[in-house]
Amino acid sequence: NAGVTQTPKFQVLKTGQSMTLQCAQDMNHNSMYWYRQDPGMGLRLIYYSASEGTTDKGEVPNGYNVSRLNKREFSLRLESAAPSQTSVYFCASRARSGQGNYGYTFGSGTRLTVV
Amino acid sequence: AQSVTQLGSHVSVSEGALVLLRCNYSSSVPPYLFWYVQYPNQGLQLLLKYTTGATLVKGINGFEAEFKKSETSFHLTKPSAHMSDAAEYFCAVRFSGGGADGLTFGKGTHLIIQP
């Protein structure tokens, strides 16, 4: 089925370790997003990419970097993980405003624990 | 700053009773509005959305929401609650104009269905 695929689904890191969360979409969407979800906080935007080759900061970018590798893939990197980055991470993509079925499609999430 | 407010972090209703989940946003320009549902340990599923046109929007699983510009609200309702409706519900808004792209989420409302 078409959609947004995130890997891995679960990860445990030690403080100071690095890792990259992968996201790929097969809907030919231009815009892609990374969110984090914390209890009682809803989802907060970390970074987004409006098109291939561009990235911009969202609400909570500190401690993260992103790469828009091509139109399909948008990765999120933690260079030196901290316990405060323990969260569930969601990737999303969006159809363009002119496209018929405007909306955001979310991946199933990556549950990250930093110890 | 533009914001989304969901009134009530927890809402409890009896099975068969009316479900009303409230969402208000801060913007003078009509935005795009969404409701998502999240079941435990799962991703986000789109319930319904308002972009343009009819202000009463019908979604999946018998839910509907009405966009009221004068009240800057987009409350979610369902006439008769079912046990399977127990989940976390998020109101999300894409604000028009400048600033970061992407959705701004409310903090979520946990819907509890009493038998």
pLDDT at B29: 78
pLDDT at B30: 75
Tell me which chain A residue has its CA closest to the CA of residue B5. Answer: A42
For testing contact with chain A, the best of B2, B103, B104 (most A CBs within 10 A): B103
Amino acid identity at A93: S
Query: How does residue B52 score in pLDDT terms, banded at 50, 70 and 90?
Result: confident
pLDDT per residue, tens digit, chain A (115 aa), is 679 999 999 999 999 999 999 999 999 999 999 999 998 889 999 999 988 889 999 999 999 999 998 999 999 999 999 999 999 999 999 977 655 567 889 999 999 999 9
pLDDT at A113: 97
pLDDT at B53: 85
pLDDT at A97: 65
Region B61-84: mean pLDDT is: 96
Q: Tell me the pLDDT of chain B averaged across its residues.
A: 92
Tell me which chain B residue has its CA closest to the CA of residue A10. Answer: B41
**How big is the A-B interface in CB pairs under 8 Å?**
59
- Higher-confidence residue: B111 or A41? B111
Amino acid identity at B105: F
pLDDT at A102: 73
Tokens of B77: 């309702």
Percent above pLDDT 70 for chain B: 95
Neighbours of B73 (CB within 10 A): 18
Is residue A83 classed as helix, strand or coil in its secondary structure?
A: helix
pLDDT at A46: 95
For testing contact with chain B, the best of A43, A45, A74 (most B CBs within 10 A): A43
* Contact across the interface for B101 and A59, Cβ inside 8 Å: no
What is the edge-to-edge ordering of all strands in the sheet holding A4-7?
A4-7, A19-25, A74-78, A65-68
pLDDT at B100: 60
Tell me which chain A residue has its CA closest to the CA of residue B8. Answer: A40
Q: How far is B9 from chain A (nearest CA, A)?
A: 8
pLDDT at A98: 59
Give how far Cα B47 sits from Cα of A66, A81, B50, B76, B86, Å.
29, 34, 11, 10, 14
Q: Which residues of B touch A35 (CB under 8 A)?
A: 102, 105
Percent above pLDDT 90 for chain B: 76
Q: Which residues of B touch A109 (CB under 8 A)?
A: 42-43
Tokens of B2: 């533009």
